[in-house]
Amino acid sequence: MNPLSSLKEEHAFVLEELYALDRQLGWLESSGPAMARKILVRLLIGGEKLASDLSFHFEREEKALFPLLEKRMDNAEPVTIMKQEHQRLSICLKAFTSEVARMLKDHDTVKTWDLSSTLQDIRSELSDHVSREERVLFWLAEIRLSRSDRNKLSSELLRMSSQESLPLPSNPAQGLG
């Protein structure tokens, strides 16, 4: 299995999780008080799961793919930019889950502006990040990594998947998708 395909499948998986959060937020904004608390709980669980899954994915890229690319590239700036985006996305997700937790604690089901704004930022940042990673970084990996590098990458991704407790497909080399 192509290790970059595995990472792309993980991208699709986390984007689907994000879209599910977006739908939940839409339901919160259009529901009455009776359903609001249940929806907030679902948003908190979904946000925490997305944060966990993204953290796992970022770790796989940063420990398996990025070091190989940095060795093979004259200019590792694209890798540096991806790492910075990983940090920003993690911070945005923390802000989202913190706001949902605040709303639950304060029984606030009306003031959804901050939540909506944060989710919009995450959606924009994550979509742009995935696009840049797949169109630039993975393209560079395709042309710069040797067959041996790709085999190392596949082995490392498989090893990391087997150590992780996330529900993975029956073939861990296929990633989260």
- Tell me, yes or no, whether 171 lies in a domain: no
Angle between helices 113-132 and 77-105 (to 10 degrees): 160
pLDDT for position 1: 67
Q: Please identify which residue in the block is written with the tokens 């709303």.
A: 103
When pLDDT is cut at 50, 70 and 90, the band that residue 169 belongs to is very low
Could you list the residue range(s) of the whole structural domain that residue 96 is in? 3-164
CATH of the domain at 28: 1.20.120.520
Per-residue pLDDT tens for 65-109?
999 999 999 889 999 999 999 999 999 999 999 999 999 999 887
Number of domains in the chain: 1
- Tell me, yes or no, whether 172 lies in a domain: no
- Tell me, yes or no, whether 169 lies in a domain: no
pLDDT for position 176: 35
Mean local confidence (pLDDT), 116-126: 94
- Tell me, yes or no, whether 176 lies in a domain: no
- Tell me, yes or no, whether 84 lies in a domain: yes
The one-character DSSP state at 174 is: G
In whole angstroms, what is the distance from residue 72 CA to residue 104 CA?
48
- Tell me, yes or no, whether 34 lies in a domain: yes
In whole angstroms, what is the distance from residue 166 CA to residue 53 CA?
8
Mean pLDDT of the chain: 89
pLDDT for position 174: 39
pLDDT for position 32: 81
Mean local confidence (pLDDT), 46-68: 96
In whole angstroms, what is the distance from residue 160 CA to residue 157 CA?
5
- Tell me, yes or no, whether 174 lies in a domain: no
pLDDT at 172 over 80: no
- What global pTM score does this model have? 0.86
- Tell me, yes or no, whether 49 lies in a domain: yes
